[in-house]
Structure 1
Amino acid sequence: MTQEMPRIFDRETLIARRARRKREALFLHDLARDEVEDRLQFVKRSFTNPVIVAPFAEVWEGLLPSAKITGDQDLLDLEEGAHDLVVHAMGLHWANDPVGQLIQCRRALREDGLLLVVTLGGQTLHELRASLAEAETYVSGGLSPRVAPMGEIRDLGALLQRAGFALPVADLVPMTAQYRDLKHLMHELRDMGETNAMADRLRRPTPRAVFELAEHIYRQNFETENGRLAATFELVCLTGWTPSESQPQPLRPGSAKMRLAEALKVPETKLPE
C-alpha cells in the first residue's frame, strides 16, 4: 500500500488566486526571468529543445524562441527524454511534492541536459511571518498557517541530488521591497497571486485586531528610516545536469598520482608518532 503525499497546498485555491493576478505586480517573475537569461549566457551550449515550467506564461514568452511553455501543475506536461533544457520558474515553492517535480524534470531531460530552477527561498517574507505569528498568538491564543513554508538554500540544493541530478549548484538573490503599510503589502501579494493557499489555512475571517497588532509589531522591528515596512524576497537559483559519462567525475580515494607536498612545492613534514 503506497503512502499518500501530504497535501500542503490547496491547488484549486492557488489557481483561483493566480487568475486574479495583475501583470504589473509580477516583478519577482521578471527578476527570475532576468536571472535565467543571465545564467544561460554563461552556458556554452545551444539548446534546441527547451521547455519552461512556469505559472504565468506571459512572463516567459520570447525568452527562448523555440521553447515550449507549460504550467507547474502536480503532474507536469513533459515528454520523457524530449528536452535538453528545463527551466522550472517560480513554482517550486507551491509544490506539494518538490522532489517529485524535480524528478519529472529529470525524466524529461536527455543525457547531459540542464535543469535551471528559480524559486522563492526561506527568508522570503520572514518579517510578515514573524509579525503575524506574534500578533495572532497574543489576540487569539493560537497560530494558523498564514505564510507558506519555503526551503532554505542548503535544503533546496540537496533536493537536486535526491532527484538524481549531477553537478548541483545553488545560489541566492536577495532583495528588499518597501511598503506604505501592512495593507499595501497584502494587496501586492494578492496582485502577485501569492496569497495564502495552504490546505490548513484558517477558513473564517481573521479578527481586525490581529492585523492591527501585526502592523504595530512589524513597525517596531522592521520599519525603514523613511517610515515604510521592509519586506524581504529571496530568489534561490538551482542548476543541475542529468548524469553523463562526459561530465567531470571525482577521483577515487587513493588514486592521486602526486603527493600534496610535491604539488605545493613545499618540504614534506612527518607528523610526530
Structure 2
Amino acid sequence: MLKTYSKWAINKCRTYVTRPSHMNIFDRNAKRLQKERAALSPDVELYDYLKDEVGFRLADRVFDIKREFKTAANIGCHRGYISKHILAECVQHLTLTDSSASMLEQAQGTPGLQMRKVVLDEEELDFEDNSLDLVISSLSLHWVNDLPGCFAKIKQSLKPDGVFIASLFGGDTLFELRSSLQLAELERKGGIAPHVSPFTQIRDIGSLLNRAGFTMLTIDTDEMVIGYPSMFELLWDLKGMAENNAAFNRPAHISRETLLAASAIYQELYAKPNEKGVPATFQIIYFVGWKPGPNQPQPLERGTGEVSLKDLGKVIEGVGKVKTEN
C-alpha cells in the first residue's frame, strides 16, 4: 500500500511540475495563417497606415537613446514597420524575426543597415544569452500567450545594460466595436461571444516587466482615433492588418442580422453629430525596460539621506527665497 501511494504521489508531482504556468488564449497557428493571408494580398500596403505610424514613433524612441547598438533584434517585425526607419548609424546589425515567412520576406531596411531574417515565433525565442544590445517589437506581443515568459527570454538574451523597447495594443483598443457587438448579440441571441480578442491592461505592463527583471521602466500610452465610413470598413481593415480575432474560443461565424444590428448600434452610440462615419480607438502602450548592469545609476543606501521628507516644504521655501534674492 505504501509503495502504491508513493508512485501516485510522484506522478502527481510530475503532473504539477510539467503543468504550464500560463493559459493558452490565442491560437498561434491561426494567427500565422492570418498574417500569411494578409501578406499575400495584392493590396496589402493599403492596411499599413496604423502599424507604420506606430513603428515610426517607436523608432523615434530608439533614436532618443544616444548610443550605437551593435546587435539588435526586431521581434515580430511584420512587414518591417520599424526596420524601414532604423538608421545604420544607430544600429549596426539587426535581426528580423516573424512567424510569417511571407511578411518577413517583404520587410526592408534603410541603406547600409545589415540585416538577417529568421522565421521565428515570438513564443519560441532562442537567442543566445547576453548577445543583444537592443530588442524592439511593435504591435506584436499582444498575441503572445505567455507574456511573462517572453519578457524573461528577452531579458536573458540582452547584454547587461541592454534595453527593451516595445509597443502593443492596450485594453481600451476597439472598445466601441466590442461594446457594439456585445449589445447586438444580447439583443439578438440573449448572450455574448468573444468577437474581439483581449488586450493587456497598462497597469499590468509594469508588474510584468519588473517580474522579468527589467529596471528603470518608462511606460506611456497614446490613443489614435481613426474614422471609418462604417463598422464594416473597420472589420475589413482589421482583416487586412492581420489583426482579426485569433482566440481559441472565438465563434466560427457571426450572423448577418447581428452584424447589421451592431453597425446600427455603433453608429448610434459613437458617431459624432453632423459627421459621417464612425470612430475607432486604438490605445497604444509604449514601454522601455533596461537589463540591470554595473554602469546603471543606483539608488543610495537606506539611511544616507540628509533631509527628512517632513522638512521638504522648508527646503522648497528656502530655494524660492534664494531665487527671489538673485
**Do the structures match in fold with TM over 0.5?**
yes
The unaligned stretches of length 5 or more in structure 2 are 1-16, 39-43, 99-120, 319-326
Decide which of 96, 102, 105 is 1:69's aligned counterpart.
Answer: 96
- Cα distance in 1 for partners of 2:77, 2:186 equals 34
Cα separation, partners in 2 of 1:30 and 1:77, compared to 1, 3 Å: farther
The residue type equivalent to 1:42 in the other structure is D
Matched, 1:151 2:223: no
Residue aligning to 2:64:
42
* Inter-CA distance 196–19: structure 2 relative to 1 (3 Å threshold): same
**8 Å contact 1:57–1:69 — kept in the other structure?**
no
* Aligned counterparts, 1:2-41, within 5 A: 2-4=18-20, 5-21=22-38, 22-41=44-63
1:20-43 CA deviation, whole Å, 9 max, x = no partner? Answer: 222220222212221122112211
Which residue number in structure 1 is paired with residue 4 of structure 2?
A: none
Q: Is the Cα–Cα contact under 8 Å of residues 77 and 96 in structure 2 kept in the other structure?
A: no
SS in structure 1 at match of 2:281: strand
Q: Structure 2: how far apart are the matches of 1:64 and 1:13?
A: 33
- Name the residue aligned to 1:270: none
| Residue in structure 1 matched with residue 303 of structure 2 by the alignment | 254
CA contact (8 A) 2:82 2:138 kept: no
1:197-236 residue CA offsets vs partner (Å, 9 max, x unmatched): 1111112x32111111111111111113422110001111
Q: 2:279 matched to which residue of 1? A: 230
State the AA in 1 paired with 2:18.
Answer: T
Deviation at 1:263, TM superposition (A): 3.8
Superimposed CA distance per residue, residues 52-90 of structure 1 (whole angstroms, 9 cap, x where no aligned partner): 112414333342542111124311242221100000221
State the shift of 1:98 in Å. 1.0
CA distance in 1, matches of 2:211, 2:72: 23
Which has the bigger relative contact order, CA under 8 A and spacing at least 6?
1
Contact 1:57–1:70, Cα closer than 8 Å, also in 2: no
Gaps of 5+ in 1: 267-273
Distance 1:150 1:46 in 2: 33
**Paired position in structure 1 for 2:171:** 122
- How far 1:167 sits from its partner (Å)? 0.6
How many Å separate the matches in 2 of 1:251 and 1:40? Answer: 28
Contact 1:111/1:243 (<8 A) preserved:
yes
| Change in CA separation of 1:106 and 1:64 when aligned onto 2, cut-off 3 Å | farther
Q: What is the distance in 1 between the residues matched to 2:166 and 2:59?
A: 12
Range moving further from structure 2, 23-32 or 239-248: 23-32
Q: Secondary structure at the match of 1:19?
A: helix
| Equivalent-residue separation in structure 1 for 2:158 and 2:256 (angstroms) | 49
Which string of whole-angstrom CA distances, capped at 9 and with x for unpartnered residues, describes residues 148-168 of structure 1? 111222212221111110011
Q: Deviations over 1:109-168 (max 9, x none)?
A: 000000001111111101001110111122111121111111222212221111110011
RMSD: 1.8
How many angstroms does 1:265 deviate by?
A: 5.3
CA contact (8 A) 2:76 2:122 kept: no
Would the aligned equivalents of 1:93 and 1:120 in 2 still touch at CA under 8 Å? yes
Q: Does 1:213 align with 2:261?
A: yes
CA distance in 1, matches of 2:216, 2:80: 31
Q: 1:78 & 1:59 partners in 2: Cα distance?
A: 22
SS state of the match for residue 162, structure 2? strand
Task: Write the letter of the residue equivalent to 2:259.
Answer: F
1:183 partner SS: helix
Greater shift after overlay, 27-36 or 158-167? 27-36
Q: State the alpha-carbon separation in 1 of the partners of residues 78 and 60 from structure 2.
A: 20
Q: Structure 1 residue 56 and structure 2 residue 78: aligned?
A: yes
Query: Do the aligned partners of residues 234 and 91 (structure 1) sit closer, same or farther apart at CA in structure 2, a change above 3 Å counting?
Result: same
Shift of the alpha carbon at 1:249? 2.0
Q: Which moved more, 1:173-182 or 1:66-75?
A: 66-75
The count of corresponding residues between Structure 1 and Structure 2 is 266
Answer yes or no: is the 8 Å Cα contact 2:58–2:82 preserved in 1: no
Q: How far apart, CA to CA, are the structure 2 residues paired with 1:114 and 1:55?
A: 17
Task: Name the counterpart of 2:159.
Answer: 110
Q: Map Cα deviations across residues 230-249 of structure 1 (whole Å, 9 max, x no partner).
A: 00011110100001232222
